[in-house]
DNA sequence: GCCAACGTTGGC
DNA sequence: GCCAACGTTGGC
């Protein structure tokens, strides 16, 4: 099972929106690297829901419930289906992630504009711990 | 095929 | 509001 991080601007679609909906189609991604990640996702993979811009923190955990399907008239873009698993006990802010040396290699940090990126298992575990103690 | 110009994302 | 990072487009 793989871990991911998926960004959304809370002004357009927030964690609260996802909870309300009980799940959503993660579409509208228009970036080649992000698309590759979407296509690599499998059912049961887990992902952090990261709110960018005004919040700038990982706030919840989602599960992939369906592998990719075309997002648009052809296979050029992909979307996956997700559902909320649970909120993090505390949001893990970008600031906190940047302050943690063991998270310096996270794709979130290395390529800040990438809206869908992989998370290494040890990074996933560490972020969960940070959410507990924050 | 290179690179400058431009657009978008997202942190600060 | 600004700017850095990155992707895309188009002229040559």
* Tens digits of residue pLDDT in A78-118: 999 999 999 999 999 999 999 999 999 999 999 999 999 99
Gap between the terminal Cα atoms of chain A: 26
Tell me which nucleotides of strand C come within 7 A of a protein CB.
4-8
Closest-approach nucleotide to residue A114, Cα vs C1': B9
Comparing every residue's Cα with the C1' atom of nucleotide B8, the nearest one is A113
Distance A111 CA to B9 C1' (A): 11
Comparing every residue's Cα with the C1' atom of nucleotide B11, the nearest one is A53
What pTM was computed for the model? 0.93
**pLDDT level of residue A12 (50, 70, 90 thresholds):** very high
Task: Please compute the mean of the pLDDT values over residues A25-41 and round it to a whole number.
Answer: 93
Residues in chain A: 134
Comparing every residue's Cα with the C1' atom of nucleotide C7, the nearest one is A31
Instruction: Region of A80 please: left (phi>0), alpha (psi -120 to 50) or beta.
Output: beta
A134 pLDDT higher than 70: no
Cβ of A83: how many Cβ atoms within 10 Å?
15
H/E element holding A126?
helix A121-133
Mean of per-residue pLDDT scores for chain A: 95
Distance A52 CA to B10 C1' (A): 7
**A21 φ, ψ to 5°?**
-80, -25
**pLDDT level of residue A23 (50, 70, 90 thresholds):** very high
Share above pLDDT 90 across residues of chain A, in percent, rounded to a whole number: 91
């Amino acid at each position: 099972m793989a871990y991911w991080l998926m960004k959304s601007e809370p002004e357009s679609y927030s964690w609260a929106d996802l909870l309300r909906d009980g799940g959503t189609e993660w579409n509208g991604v228009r970036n080649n690297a992000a698309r590759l990640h979407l296509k690599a996702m499998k059912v049961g993979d887990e992902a952090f829901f990261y709110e960018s811009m005004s919040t700038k923190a990982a706030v919840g955990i989602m599960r992939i419930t369906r592998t990719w399907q075309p997002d648009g008239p052809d296979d050029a873009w992909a979307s996956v289906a997700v559902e909320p698993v649970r909120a993090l006990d505390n949001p893990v802010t970008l600031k906190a992630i940047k302050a943690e040396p063991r998270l310096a290699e996270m794709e979130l940090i290395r390529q800040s504009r990438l809206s869908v990126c992989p998370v290494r298992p040890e990074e996933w575990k560490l972020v969960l711990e940070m959410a507990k103690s924050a």
